[in-house]
Copies of this chain bind each other. A is one copy, B any other.
């Protein structure tokens, strides 16, 4: 655990000092400090401030050298001109880990300042995350970013060479995906710790099950490829390259001082290593979430269980056009399904119930028959009405509100909540029991609390097309693992 130990000050600090936090909450440093506390951090925070004695209720020190305790981690969000001196102070104090959020270095052409920073850091053996970065998240209780939406604990870790893409997942995860996260690391200008270092740490990290990379530049190409090659055999790596075209590269250069690598380099790296390239950031999050929460498909045969023909057809097309099969089920299996389906339903595959209000059959009985058969390797659902549906249904004009039938339906809707939860709990169990991937799809969002219930318990819920692409990529990765283990 050599590398993980080296980074302990980043991943497991007990005492964190802040340069740049003040009694004005709108200041960047203050936001990072409060976000850390709001995330449930149980350690100690120590503001460093030239004038104030107290900041946001915490005793402040004029200089880090005055702090009586040992400091595990220092966060700096200050004028870049002040950083070198403060870094010297930190060195004297014996600080070994510093996150520098401030920009104003190589990314704006200030090579001299960045070199000086590197020099000081080396003198005192300080590891720097940044400069010009968006900080880090380490679940369950560290959020040193400016975005106040820490995710739940899980196995996905992300390393981002883009500061924005280090923190935007926090919004998307909170409002759309409900993913479980272990660590998010914004590497910034990589003055003395880089993408390769953090990858090495995540390789050793038992809490990380899958890794996403927002990739702008190869700084240590050979090491990077070797590492991706080795890690990807144990933990899937998903890469989204940004900065391939003239304008993209112009933009990337201006903000992280990197020489960007064209997309085909990433294609070639992925081909060599089996890592997965995606082109869309939501695709990446969906895929990482699935890797972390459901088993890999052992083969390419998918059962589609749907409440509507259209989505079944659309999903079939996508699967079959991209290397997976939606196989016709055997006569025997069809016979087994039939008693639990409406007469008008289709037992071939997609298994299309057309419409059914028997949620127990749809969510438990039929899925279990399919999952235990040896004819399919994965199950995808379409159709999840949920309780918002019932709530909207009884949102009738005033003159109807007292009608028996409306009241009955309202009670029914409330009763359904418990009933649905019980059905969902079964699905969650199926995942363990049959060790096959299960994805639910619908056009609802996390506003529908059933979506959130499932997502927060490790059953991905996506739009149909997203669910299909996630499974297709999981199968590609599974096939890759099979090919190297032959």
Contact = CB atoms under 8 A, between A and B. Distances in A.
A30 B393 CA distance: 10
A248 B317 contact: yes
Interface string A380-412: 001100000100111111011001111011001
A332 interface: no
A103 B395 CA distance: 28
A320 to B, nearest CB: 4
Interface stretch (A11-19, A62-70, A111-119, A238-246): A238-246
Interface of A: 23-26, 28, 30-31, 34-35, 37-38, 56-57, 103-104, 107-108, 147-149, 160-165, 168-169, 171-172, 175-176, 214, 216, 240, 242-252, 254-256, 263, 279-282, 304, 307-314, 316-321, 325-328, 344, 346, 348-350, 352, 354-355, 357, 382-383, 389, 392-397, 399-400, 403-406, 408-409, 412, 442-448, 463-465
15 contacts: A25-B393, A26-B357, A34-B406, A56-B400, A56-B405, A103-B344, A149-B392, A175-B443, A216-B310, A244-B317, A244-B321, A245-B316, A251-B350, A251-B352, A254-B352
Contacts of A320: 245-248
A465 B279 CA distance: 9
Q: How many copies of this protein are present in the complex?
A: 2
Contacts of A465: 279-282
Given A103-B354, A404-B23, A405-B23, A344 B311 contact: no
A445 B445 contact: yes
Nearest to A31: B393
A247 B326 contact: yes
A104 B344 contact: yes
Contact of A317 (B243, B317, B397): B243
A25 B405 CA distance: 6
Given A148-B393, A248-B320, A444-B171, A25 B164 contact: no
Contacts of A246: 320
Nearest to A34: B396
A327 B450 CA distance: 45
A464 B251 CA distance: 15
Given A26-B412, A242-B317, A244-B317, 10 more contacts: A23-B405, A31-B393, A34-B393, A147-B389, A171-B442, A175-B443, A245-B320, A248-B326, A250-B348, A445-B445
A335 to B, nearest CB: 17
Nearest to A321: B245
B24 A405 contact: yes
B395 A108 contact: no
Closest 3 A-B residue pairs measured CB to CB? Answer: A162-B310, A164-B308, A255-B309
Given A37-B396, A251-B316, A344-B108, A309 B162 contact: yes
A397 B314 CA distance: 47
Contacts of A326: 247-248
A254 B214 contact: no
A354 B405 contact: no
B23 A162 contact: no
A307 B167 CA distance: 12
Contacts of A247: 316-317, 319-320, 325-328, 349-350
A336 to B, nearest CB: 19
